[in-house]
Amino acid sequence: MRTHELRCLGPHGFHRVTYYEWGEVANPRVVLCVHGLTRNGRDFDVLAQSLASKFRVVCPDVAGRGMSQWLSHKEDYGYPLYLADMATLIARTGAEQVAWVGTSMGGLIGMLLASQPAAPIGRLLLNDIGPFVPRAALERLATYVGKAPPFATLNEFERYLRVVMAPYGILTEQQWRHLAEHSFQRRADGTVAVAYDPAIADAFARPIEDVTLWPAWDAICCPTLVLRGRESDLLLRETAQEMVRRGPSARLVEFDGVGHAPALMADDQIAVVRDFLSEPNW
């Protein structure tokens, strides 16, 4: 794994975005893996290791998360900036086309990019997200995003993650530890805090409504795969079925015992991703 930095331009100047790269630099088959709202690019380590022999895999920390810079103007956190940052990252790879693997927020970024004319996304995988997000699920996220207290130890922090991320399903002890070790920051007083800017939660301070993006979905024309946890409250079953019927006519794969969202660490989940990305014509 190689760690890089990229300078991206937002409404109030440049900010630093960190990304992680796996596989051969010269490989023209580039896969971008983009994480969810409070997560970071290291969530994809297991998947990236599995894909690195066939693909160049790039996993960014979206602004305000992981090792990427926190924005000085908190109102800039939002999809216009995230889309611009990811467009800059795609250009940095030098690839004419990339495949996109996006979990939750990362999937929405990919969906919005793929809906644009002449989009450089040749293959789109959405992990437990779609063009309709119900208010009830967003209200659940609002109960914990930006509200985590400091923890005395990493073990305490890991126990907290196991609660808020329980919908990920059954993970091994090693996998839980990996998620914890790569999503905390050590504060000056020695306590442990989440590795994201609490200001990303400011959007939840406004009235929460359903999110509807069907026009963007209908504009997508690249091959698309949708993954869904059967117990997900964010990607409803009826939404997933509608995604199969319209727009890019996505294929749908569901995983038992998982809610929002599949962690893409289990062998069966990785196999589905790898098979989709290994198909020709991108």
Read off the pLDDT of residues 3-59 as tens digits, 9 standing for 90 and up: 999 999 999 999 999 999 999 999 999 999 999 999 999 999 999 999 999 999 999
How many Å apart are CA 230 and CA 268, to the nearest integer? Answer: 15
Question: Is residue 102 scored above 80 in pLDDT?
Answer: yes
**pLDDT at residue 282 in the model:** 74
pLDDT in the model for residue 205: 86
In 104-162, DSSP assigns E strands to: 121-127, 132-133
Half-sphere exposure (CA, 13 Å, Cβ side) for 256? 0
Distance CA 175, CA 201 (A): 26
The H-assigned helical ranges of 182-277 are: 214-219, 237-245, 267-277
Give the confidence band of 93 by pLDDT, cuts at 50, 70, 90.
very high
CB count within 10 Å of CB 190 equals 9
Per-residue model confidence (pLDDT) at position 115: 98
Mean pLDDT of the chain: 97
pLDDT at 78: 97
Q: How confident is the model over 127-161, as pLDDT tens digits?
A: 999 999 999 999 999 999 999 999 999 999 999 99
Domains in the chain, ordered, with CATH?
2-277 (3.40.50.1820)
Q: What is the pLDDT of residue 61?
A: 98
Give the per-residue pLDDT at 281: 77
| The pLDDT of residue 60 | 98
First-last CA distance in the chain: 24
> Which DSSP category does 207 fall into?
P
* pLDDT value at residue 154: 96
| pLDDT given at position 256 | 97
Place of tokens 């990252």: 89
Q: Mapping DSSP to helix (H, G, I), strand (E, B) and coil, where does residue 247 land?
A: coil
In the chain, % helix, strand, coil (3-state, to 5) comes to: 35, 25, 40
DSSP states along 225-236: EEEEETT-SSS-
Cα dihedral across residues 171, 148, 104, 49: positive or negative: negative
